[in-house]
Structure 1
Amino acid sequence: MRWNRWIGVLLVAVMVVPAMSAFAEPDAELRIARRGADDAEEHGGRRGDHHDAATGRSPAGATPAASESPDPGGKALFDVKCSTCHALARPLGKNKDRDGWTTTVTRMQKVNGCAITDAEAKAIVDYLVQVRGPAGK
């Protein structure tokens, strides 16, 4: 008779616990870090089609904000550090000001755990502001 009770408890646990987890809201920071679908919607449904990685060209009208050439150190860091987790076309398809890029790079450091030092983050943000945002803002 005892084993019947344990089987009943086990069955309830197996059915109830997964059902309850469907109602749990994920942590807000992780929800922000797991973005991606919004990127696809912003660019016509396909991720990565907003920047031609082969030619390095962006669509018409998406020219670098600054007329000066980008910092080669920042570009090299961007190429190495950012490509470890996602295609480089993903951030290069966005236009953000300095605050926006700082928020994005900080999220990659703190939430996603990318190995970027604060000095490297600053260089990457400087590069992204030069090529994909209003310079110096």
Structure 2
Amino acid sequence: MTGTQPYILDASALVELFNGHPAVMNMLADAEVDRFSVVAPAAAVLEAQVVLKATPAMWEYMLDRRVVELPLHGEASVEAGNYARPRLEHHPMCRLLTGPPMVGHVLREAKEMGGAIVTVIPENYGGHDVAVTVLD
């Protein structure tokens, strides 16, 4: 990781990565020259896969060395579950790319890393003290 604030891609941003969104592609180009880090929590990859139905080879190609996939285990799982709990308790029906476990994992990584969340759906992160970069 670099000393610069990392970007944490949520499921909606990963879908946009596959769609070739210019802002995401620019982030990856900058990451290649080590200007900053781009990461994807495993829960975001899982939820994006529900929409994308991509092959493992496609994921490997898209993530390559530019995007670091963050595992969800141990203390990170517990913390992500704590972030997800209010959404599960109060909003049991969620639309695609807004799943509480994914949102919790993304929030946990953003808080732990001090990074900015990249998303098409900023409402996922309302009420939390995190930086959010919205893809248009």
- Give the number of the structure whose residues are more often strand, by fraction: 2
Larger radius of gyration: 1
Q: TM-score, normalised by structure 2?
A: 0.25
**Given the two structures, how large is their TM-score scaled by the length of structure 1?**
0.25
